[in-house]
A and B are shown apart, each in its own frame.
Chain A
Amino acid sequence: MNNNVPILEVHGLSVAFNSEEVLKDISFSVSEGDVLAIIGPNGAGKTVLFRALMGLIPFDGEIKWRDSAQIGYVPQKLFEKAELPLTVKEFFILKSKKLFFKDKQFIKSIDHELKSVGLKPEILNQQLANLSRGQFQRVLIAWAILGHPNVLLFDEPTAGIDFVGEGNIYNLLHKLQDERGMTVLIISHDLNIVYRYADKVLCLNKEGLCFGEPKKALTTEQIERLYGESAFYHHHVH
């Protein structure tokens, strides 16, 4: 693995909506195979950063992905659940490049990805709206890694995920990183996770406040600056 050339380099990234600056002059880089945690209070522009990284919104500054980078995206949530009747299988098939016909190879790889996120094939016939939050999160991850991208952008839900046995989402992400050499960018709300799993951390509150290895970059003062003093205890003691 070539760890010296970053798979992603960001220089002076700024995003504004209707002349209101949401992100201001952000710079960081990510090495291949690393886990970068992005933390910050609500409204800090974390999801906006992801959307800019995927080229979904206009921005100023420079975002340089390595040519080989293929992104899988795990959003925080989808649509209003009850509105659209979709089975899990149908949801996966929406990613197929074939617009109408069946793609047998594609359907096989769905089974493979389900297994790697710890779901049973029976879940395919369930309705998306009836899944538990934990199952739903795993389905979203399986959807994102279908087709083997080498970068995963993971927008963690604000509320905690209910884990039932078989390890948590972070062990799963870690496994993907180990087995597939995936680079993982994760928006996290849990500082314990950041210390335990991340190689680098980016603190964000419209501007980049810190960047580096969690133990060095994430000092107590830094966390207070980021969340405010009272929020610090809330976030730290979990």
Chain B
Amino acid sequence: MKWLVLAVMVGSTTAGEVLQAAGMRRHGEIRDFRPGAIGRALAALARNRFVIGGVSSMAISFFALMKLLSMTDLSFAVPVSAVTYVMETVLAKYLLKERVSGLRWAGAALVICGVTLVSL
């Protein structure tokens, strides 16, 4: 059961973040941080299909995390995100067409090893 909740969390987090990244790129760079402008940006984002999909996935991921936290410790639940890093970086390259340079791969690899070490 623990592993099923974990799989749901990893899958929904990955899908959610990639969709969110795609949606935010379509929306464009947020430059105005005054409250009125943030309100207008939120209204526009509420109609952005990628963002809606992303937020829905993140909501599933959030409730899966709550369920997981009620079953295990934070020190078990949090490190799993290292797994999502790998999946998301690969999807960022192939789906979002980001140019993941050698430098970024190296940085991501160091971070993944580090996160694993910190949370073991």
Partners in one complex: no
